[in-house]
Structure 1
């Protein structure tokens, strides 16, 4: 089996991994795919060079049209976009969905991940051009009763509530020097799209948890304005021990079911506390599988969000975690994400301005859709 066939086979295997149900490290697979594509491109180019050289040696003079590789076409498209940015004053460089992150070109070294994937996993409703609205949810349905012959049917009622999802404006702005233009155009285009776009995502993913719910702001899971959650269901913990996960699982939901699709939202600090719990023999009590921003604790899914509190630093009564199906939180996107660049703002100083904006809003839309965990008062 030649190397080209091996690469194509491996690309097929990666495709199966990405479309399958098992957990994978997307960052590692993305790096491997990029490396395989580069190697495949090099093999194809070398093969074409050898073919052309043979034709010359054989005395053939006809002109041949060589198909441009797809990866090269993509690079040229990015280069063209960078050229357009360099020649225009104000131009829209991106207009898309705030939920799907943009993968920047890898030649600019990134910092550690600063955006929780919580944003990509909640329920998203696209409402381009829409306005604020109320999402109804069922609180309780009645129970029937015995009725004697000839007597009126027993009255039952169904109680509903409404969660307000208000349109908010999230913006980000930064300036860079014109020297950045000396970088390759493709890198510059990625930098423009990435820096401001990630800033928008970073803000929204935190607001899903801690947004105050006041005018012009998201209503977060921890907010008192999340009217779908009854504060009486909040769970208090003093420390993380062998019973903590079971206490959370069985405290969530109604009296008839134990939910099996819920996700635990917590900080990295408290995830470490789970990892530090030991059994009577000194072995780790919790089996934790880490996969970047997500993973499992004894089979229970978790997602890290730095906006969650930590037992080590929280005050009494502060919220630490939330547990529930992420579809119980609804985020409405009222406009595409818009990223723009302008050379005019500080023309004399040679500064280039970038700004981004998106109209969105969110709230808990299922009655007691999340169990909120907070720090118990110190005794």
Structure 2
């Protein structure tokens, strides 16, 4: 099968990581796969790709990365010509702005298109009014729309009425994580509580730092390490300094080896206000890290069983987060138990082969017009 995957860029990010996982898997099994970043130019691919994946950079094909209506229109025309000339069997696009462009570029070409929302489109606040209106207007023209969690599907179908087919498909665990060694808990010595994500307000790392400040005196052998980069760095660094936690809280930036860094931790915390599908929580659980997560929309509730393979706390509740972290940080047996059960659960449910089978069902449905 000839598959075209469209993404905005291949910089570091959850959507980009999933795109790389999928195109690599499709190419390795024998599909003819092309990955087309629609904005970034050649040489900006953060995640490793199989040599069997063809890369076509739209910015290079169109000769522009400029912003503005004329540049966007030029890239749209270039994308349409590229699709018309290459005639893929199916197109998959990620993220609202790319989805809108894909719908416009494929109109009248008769090529099945699956557009995928990569955040929670109902709860998130970063998509502007214009994009929301375009989504409502154009998504009904796509052959299939996907979201990542069951609790998103109903509200989104009401937000964007007229969608032909709406499917829920989770993110896959990258294949190396299925066989990765599981984190072992230390009885004593320094321990790290880990968080990971873009340093943006929706991740609520400021809240997490405040909660850790309340825990720090009682857990002198625990430190908090927050991996990631983003516009909130300066504010978070100032907060850490104001609280006098420079020796206990670190923000080392972006890492090209996130799984290695997760494997060095003793516990993981997700403090987000909203998620589409928290890849990092899935990956932390798969490595056997005991996890505490806010019950935010969407993903954590579907991914975990509170008290069995993770600790789930009411979204935004600082006291509940503090209590859950104190419980976890103070009980090595609980950490070992949650880590063991969590790894087993997600390695089974989100195995790459299982998720690829779900994608194959979508491909068959849109190609047959079902």
- TM-score, normalized by length of structure 1? 0.27
* Greater percentage in helix: 2
Larger radius of gyration: 1
Which has the higher relative contact order, 1 or 2, with Cα contacts under 8 A spaced 6 or more apart? 1
Structure number having the greater strand percentage: 1
TM-score, scaled relative to structure 2: 0.28
